[in-house]
Amino acid sequence: MEQVKITLQDGSVKEYPSKTTLLEIAESISPRLAKEAVGGEVDKHVVDLKYPIEKDAFIHILKFQDEKGADIFRHTSAHILAQAVKRMYPDAKLAIGPAIENGFYYDFDLEHRFTEEDLEKIEKEMLKIIKEDLDIERFELPRDEAIQYMQERNEPYKVELIQELPEDAVISFYKQGEFVDLCAGPHLPSTKPVKAVKLLSVAGAYWRGDEKRPMLQRIYGTSFPKQKLLEEHLHRLEEAKKRDHRKLGKELDLFSIQDEGPGFPFFHPKGMIIRNLLEDFWRKEHMQRGYEEIRTPIILSEQLWHTSGHWDHYKENMYFTKIDDLDYAVKPMNCPGALLLYRRKMYSYRDLPIRFAEMGLVHRHELSGALHGLMRVRCFTQDDAHIFMLPSQIKDEIKGVIDFVDYVYNLFGFKYYIELSTRPEKSMGSDEEWEMATNALKEALVEKGLSYKINEGDGAFYGPKIDFHLQDCLGRTWQCGTIQLDFQMPQRFDLTYIGKDGEKHRPVMIHRVIFGSIERFIGILIEHFAGKFPVWLSPVQAKILTIADKYNDYAEKIARQFKSSDIRVELDSRNEKIGYKIREAQLQKVPYMIIIGEKEMNSGTISVRSRDRGELGSQNVEEFIQKVKEEDKNKVLPE
Q: Where are the beta strands (DSSP E) in 332-377?
A: 347-348, 354-363
- Do both 379 and 509 map to the same domain? yes
Residue 601 pLDDT > 80, yes or no?
Answer: yes
- Do both 581 and 495 map to the same domain? no
- Do both 168 and 48 map to the same domain? no
Annotated active-site residue 574? The verdict is no
Which tens digits make up the pLDDT trace of 272-296? 999 999 999 999 999 999 999 999 9
Annotated active-site residue 295? The verdict is no
Q: Structure pTM?
A: 0.80
Annotated active-site residue 382? The verdict is yes
Flag the least confident range among 71-80, 407-416, 483-492, 560-569.
483-492
Annotated active-site residue 364? The verdict is yes
Q: Which of 86, 275, 364, 378 is catalytic?
A: 364
Tell me which of 486, 504, 528 is where a domain ends: 528
- Do both 466 and 601 map to the same domain? no
* 430: confidence class by pLDDT, cuts 50, 70, 90: confident
Helix, strand or coil for residue 416? strand
- Do both 88 and 201 map to the same domain? yes
Q: Which of 79, 93, 386, 581 is catalytic?
A: 386
- Do both 462 and 609 map to the same domain? no
Q: Is 452 within a domain?
A: yes
Q: Is 215 within a domain?
A: yes
How many separate domains does the chain show?
Answer: 4
- Do both 145 and 276 map to the same domain? no
CATH number of the domain bearing residue 500: 3.30.930.10
- Do both 561 and 625 map to the same domain? yes
Residue 462 pLDDT > 90, yes or no?
Answer: no
Q: Is 63 within a domain?
A: no
Annotated active-site residue 79? The verdict is no
Q: What is the arithmetic mean of pLDDT over 214-228?
A: 95
Flag the least confident range among 143-157, 227-241, 470-484, 568-582.
470-484
Q: Which of 286, 465, 581, 609 is catalytic?
A: 465
Of 332, 335, 309, the closest CA to residue 492 belongs to: 309
- Do both 352 and 397 map to the same domain? yes
Which tens digits make up the pLDDT trace of 232-278? 999 988 888 899 999 999 999 999 999 999 999 999 999 999 999 99
Tell me, what amino acid is at 422? T
Q: Is 322 within a domain?
A: no
CATH number of the domain bearing residue 616: 3.40.50.800
Q: Which of 83, 176, 217, 382 is catalytic?
A: 382
- Do both 508 and 549 map to the same domain? no
Q: What is the arithmetic mean of pLDDT over 364-374?
A: 86
Residue 230 pLDDT > 80, yes or no?
Answer: yes
Flag the least confident range among 385-399, 448-462, 555-569.
448-462
> What stretches of 189-268 show up as alpha helix (H) in DSSP?
227-243, 245-251
Annotated active-site residue 183? The verdict is no
Q: Are 80 and 129 in contact (CB under 8 A)?
A: yes
Enclosing domain of residue 495: 263-296+332-528
3-state secondary structure 278-292: HHHHHHHHHHHCCCE
Residue 360 vs residues 61, 226, 311, 485, 512: alpha-carbon distances, Å: 46, 47, 19, 19, 12
